Amino acid sequence: MSFQSLTVLGNVGKDPVIRSLNSGDSVANFSIAVTERRKGEDATVWFNCTAFGKTAGVVENFVRKGSKVLVQGRIQTRTYEKDGVTRDAWEVVVDRLSLESPKADGVSTGYSASRGDLDDGGDIPF
């Protein structure tokens, strides 16, 4: 079930997990941490993200633990069972990804990808 759109700017918590679907398409799973200061204390919210196709390839090649990324996508819920208990999981299905981390030489990549741009066979511009 899909809901509203969401834009998240934060840091990737661990290296993305990349796998292949039966169709041959790639899927990337990663989490983004957003930390804000509330009443003198830091509060961190985690967002689980899933990217498909060529956007997953961009994640595989350029996103690592600690990378700062901006993702735009739709919120999706799914239900699963673990230890006999039915649970709901929320995730952001990535429609657009922007790499916000600076390169080692201090120059920002400024690269952004969206499913529509990349799924048309476009090349990565760097």
Q: What is the pLDDT of residues 107-123, one digit of tens each?
A: 444 455 665 554 444 44
Output the DSSP codes for 50-75: EEEHHHHHHHHHH--TT-EEEEEEEE
- The identity of residue 56, as a single letter, is A
Tokens standing for 20?
Answer: 């292949």
Domain boundary assignment for the chain: 2-118
Find where tokens 């967002």 sit. 47
pLDDT at position 125 is 41
pLDDT at position 15 is 96
Neighbouring residues of 14: CB distance < 8 A, sequence distance ≥ 6: 30, 31, 65
Residue 67's CB is within 10 A of a number of other CB atoms, namely: 19
- CATH of segment(s) 2-118: 2.40.50.140
pLDDT at position 89 is 85
Which strand (E) or helix (H) includes residue 33?
A: strand 26-38
pLDDT at position 78 is 85
- Which DSSP letter does residue 42 get? E
pLDDT at position 116 is 54
Q: Which residues pair with 72 in a beta bridge?
A: 7, 96
Give the pLDDT means over successive 10-residue stretches in the chain (126 positions): 79 96 93 90 93 94 95 91 90 93 50 52 41
